[in-house]
């Protein structure tokens, strides 16, 4: 698991640092120690972007789509001001939740529940 200090070089060449991210341990341990010290050369399995007052919704939505196009299995775009969450999954329409009480890690993070 990584916080916003964790960086990734996506397959498309973009450097990204999501607010929260997670990768499976087998993917992490397939990297060399040198690869683990820099921007990790892969896309996280799970990403969270938290919209701040200075963030454009469109730019964050574009980022979330980019994560999906580069291999992310699950993504949450959390907009606390509007109490809204957009859930991104591969080959599915974005699911929008208004003021959800919980979010599930689904089959990507089984048992993980954000309350």
| pLDDT given for residue 84 in this prediction | 97
| Listed residue (114, 56, 106, 64) closest to 86, CA to CA | 64
Q: Going from the N-terminus, what domains does the chain have, and what CATH number goes with each?
A: 8-102 (3.90.1570.10)
Strands, DSSP E only, in the chain?
Answer: 8-9, 15-16, 20-22, 46-50, 74-79, 84-88, 95-98, 103-104, 113-114
pLDDT in tens, 39-82: 999 999 999 999 999 999 999 999 999 999 999 999 999 999 99
pLDDT of residue 11: 97
Percent of the chain at pLDDT > 70 equals 100
């Amino acid at each position: 698991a990584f916080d916003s200090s964790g960086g990734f070089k996506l397959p498309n060449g973009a450097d990204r640092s999501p607010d929260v991210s997670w990768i499976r341990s087998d993917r992490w341990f397939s990297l060399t120690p040198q690869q683990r010290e820099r921007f990790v050369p892969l896309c996280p399995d799970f990403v969270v972007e938290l919209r701040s007052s200075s963030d454009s919704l469109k730019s964050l939505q574009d980022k979330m789509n980019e994560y999906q196009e580069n291999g992310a299995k699950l993504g949450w775009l959390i907009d606390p001001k509007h109490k809204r969450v957009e859930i991104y999954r591969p080959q599915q329409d974005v699911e929008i939740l208004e003021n959800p009480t919980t979010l599930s890690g689904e089959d990507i993070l089984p048992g993980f529940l954000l309350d």
